[in-house]
Amino acid sequence: MKILNAFAALTLTAGSAFAAAHAMAPMVEASDQDVSNGIVSADLVAAGENGWLVVHRTDADMKPGPVVGHAPLRAGKNQDVAAILTEEVKSGDMLMLMVHSESGGMKTGIFEYTLGAKEDGPVKPDGNLVMKVITVQ
């Protein structure tokens, strides 16, 4: 019985360590890029829950502005996330790629956020936005 209990404890410990090693803090990795094809991409987005990669206009003040695109995210690691832009973005414009949740809205799977709303709003671990600012080339 002691051997069985030791094996069970070892299995649980190993499983917890494996999960902790593969859990990623929410983050966005993206680079400055050409968006003349109407798409902006993030190389990697980690999300703690299903949600959205939301593309906001921004400027030197680094405050999120109007939404100009979004793409769905799965909980966990998302690679090469592409968001279709809903309006023209010019070379030199700054874009903020931000992780938003899929909560608070009326419909699951429909992006419902408008600037300042709570529906499908920004994820803020420890009170900080999860985002990356890029400059359009």
Condensed to tens digits (0 to 9), the pLDDT of residues 42-86 reads: 999 999 999 999 999 999 999 999 999 999 999 999 999 999 999
The letter for the amino acid at 18 is F
Residue 22 has pLDDT above 70, yes or no: no
Condensed to tens digits (0 to 9), the pLDDT of residues 79-108 reads: 999 999 999 999 999 999 999 999 988 999
Is 134 buried (19+), middle (13-18) or exposed (0-12) by CB count in 10 A? buried
Q: What is the pLDDT of residue 108?
A: 92
Q: What is the mean pLDDT of the chain?
A: 88
Q: What is the pLDDT of residue 115?
A: 86
Its CATH class, for the domain covering 26-135, is mainly beta
The letter for the amino acid at 10 is L
Residue 4 has pLDDT above 80, yes or no: no
Residue 83: which H helix or E strand, with range? strand 76-85
Identify which of 50, 46, 28, 25 has the alpha carbon closest to the alpha carbon of residue 101.
Answer: 50
Residue 12 CA, distance from chain mean position: 30
Q: What's the pLDDT band for 2 if we cut at 50, 70, 90?
A: low
